[in-house]
Amino acid sequence: MIEDILKNLWNNWMFRLSLSSNELFHSNFLQTALSDPLPDMANEHAGVSSWARVQEFAAWVGLDAAWLAERQVEYALHPVFVYREWKDLDLAIVVRVPRENGGYREVVIFAVEVKIKSYPALEQVKRYLALMVSHNRETAFIPRLVLLSLVPPPPHFNLIENLTVSHFGALAEGIAHVVPYQPALQAPIDEYARLCQLLDQLSQFWNESLSPLTPLHAVTGQRNVYRRLNPIWSKLCAAYLCELVKQEMADFALHDDITLQIDPGFSRSTWKADFLWCASSGGAAAREVIAKAGVQVEGDTIRFMLNAQNVGSGGVNARLIVQETLLAQANASGLYQRLHQLYCITQEPNVDLAVEVTAFWQNANGIRRDNYGIPCLSLPQGDFTLPGYNNSPTFGHADYRLKLHKNATLNEICHLVCAALRGEYNANGAAAFLPVLTDLDVF
């Protein structure tokens, strides 16, 4: 099934054009289809539309028809526009209301956020809803947001007030209704409708494939299958893992001045996700020490890491400073003590320590182990002790790095990450993070 979907996508010329910009491509095309051919002279991001087209569009994406009819009655005498990239939103339906002293004010009726290469984020949706309400502070109604996502968001998104979750299947069925308004675009619109149908099929396949039980090899081993779509699939998987971690960590706080930063990404042709406790020294911007401790998942590795920005001076290697701090803190505060034990075994075999280590890690599912049941600590070749890097002379990184089993599920990886963030691999629990995050003189 997936082979047919991918083959048909590649044979769709609209799909090939969309690969360079993804979300922006869709917002540009929808604005073109919904707007008059002549540009709006007041704003290059706006296209003149009509209430008839806006009603058609709203119906396709699932907005309440009665609610929109009320807006049309209220603003029937004012011109309606389709904006792209309106205040960071991909597409927005806006009316211009003249002011008595000249000029006009913009009233946003509803907006559309397209998600192709990233997973819908609850914080972003709430921020966009608040942004529209703030912008429309002179109006009595609350604008609506439509989320058009390649991969459906979690079910609780359907409970968010003033949010409508739509899909590309609905867009494929509805876009044909634009042709009477734009007869010259019939061929591109037909091709775009086929593209939306294929994206909907891909969405259904990925939605069925992506779950807490999805194994790691299904995330990292698809490069030759998905090809140009592999970055999108990888980012979606990373974002999905981030959502799992957010849910599990929702009620856990480390310290008032320390925030948990969770960021999905794509690096070196594979998925990546950072889960980092972050603190700052609060100094001048150029010399402000920023320290982060936590976990990074990249490819088939899970990294228990420490990094710091604006450390070292006079040519001192920042990576070595961070590396020495990470090793020292294992004994000083118990930071990543369980990982440090693995490191000690690699440096000097110790039977008693190996027995203790094996007993501790036996319930940590998802980690690759050697024949004795001990997790495989990945150590670099070369002149430094731990894997690490320095992006600049004053930014250093070091980590203890484990290999994940190819059959590790996203749920198991989530539990490993959350256990690390809660301090379960430290000798002193979560308190072991505090010295490197609150006493930045350790660097």
Cα–Cα distance measured from residue 20 to residue 13, given in angstroms and rounded to the nearest whole number: 13
> For the chain, how many residues are written?
443
**Measuring CA to CA, which residue among 182, 200, 2 is closest to residue 116?**
200
Q: State the DSSP code for 417.
A: H
Q: Say how many Å lie between the first and final Cα of the chain, rounded.
A: 54
pLDDT confidence of residue 281:
59
Element holding 233 (H helix, E strand) = helix 230-248
Cα–Cα distance measured from residue 319 to residue 122, given in angstroms and rounded to the nearest whole number: 35
- Residues 6+ positions from 309 with CB-CB distance below 8 Å: 288, 289, 290, 291, 394, 395
DSSP states of 369-387: B-TTS-B-EE--SSS-SS-
pLDDT confidence of residue 390:
76
Q: Are the CB atoms for 266 and 231 separated by under 8 Å?
A: yes
Give 148's strand partners.
114, 166
Cα–Cα distance measured from residue 367 to residue 408, given in angstroms and rounded to the nearest whole number: 7
**Measuring CA to CA, which residue among 124, 127, 130 is closest to residue 149?**
124
Cα–Cα distance measured from residue 176 to residue 114, given in angstroms and rounded to the nearest whole number: 19
Give 115's strand partners.
149
Cα–Cα distance measured from residue 321 to residue 334, given in angstroms and rounded to the nearest whole number: 18
Cα–Cα distance measured from residue 310 to residue 200, given in angstroms and rounded to the nearest whole number: 46
Q: Are the CB atoms for 377 and 358 separated by under 8 Å?
A: no
Helices and strands: H and E segment counts in the chain: 16, 13
Cα–Cα distance measured from residue 102 to residue 107, given in angstroms and rounded to the nearest whole number: 16
Q: Are the CB atoms for 146 and 113 separated by under 8 Å?
A: yes
Is residue 80 classed as helix, strand or coil in its secondary structure? Answer: strand
Cα–Cα distance measured from residue 247 to residue 244, given in angstroms and rounded to the nearest whole number: 5
Please name the amino acid found at residue 299: G
CA distances, 340 to each of 14, 378, 401 (Å): 52, 12, 11
Show the low-confidence residues of the chain (pLDDT under 70): 280-287, 313-316, 381-383
Q: Are the CB atoms for 262 and 274 separated by under 8 Å?
A: yes
Tens-digit pLDDT profile for residues 16-52:
999 888 889 999 999 999 998 877 777 778 888 999 9
Phi first, then psi: give them for residue 265, nearest 5 degrees: -165, -165
Q: State the DSSP code for 405.
A: P
Residue showing tokens 């118990």: 334
pLDDT confidence of residue 180:
83
Tens-digit pLDDT profile for residues 137-169:
888 899 999 999 988 888 889 899 999 999 999
Which sequence spans correspond to the domains of the chain? Answer: 2-209, 231-442
- Residues 6+ positions from 365 with CB-CB distance below 8 Å: 408, 412, 415
Count other Cβ atoms within 10 Å, centred on residue 137.
Answer: 6
Cα–Cα distance measured from residue 16 to residue 357, given in angstroms and rounded to the nearest whole number: 51
Is residue 294 classed as helix, strand or coil in its secondary structure? Answer: strand
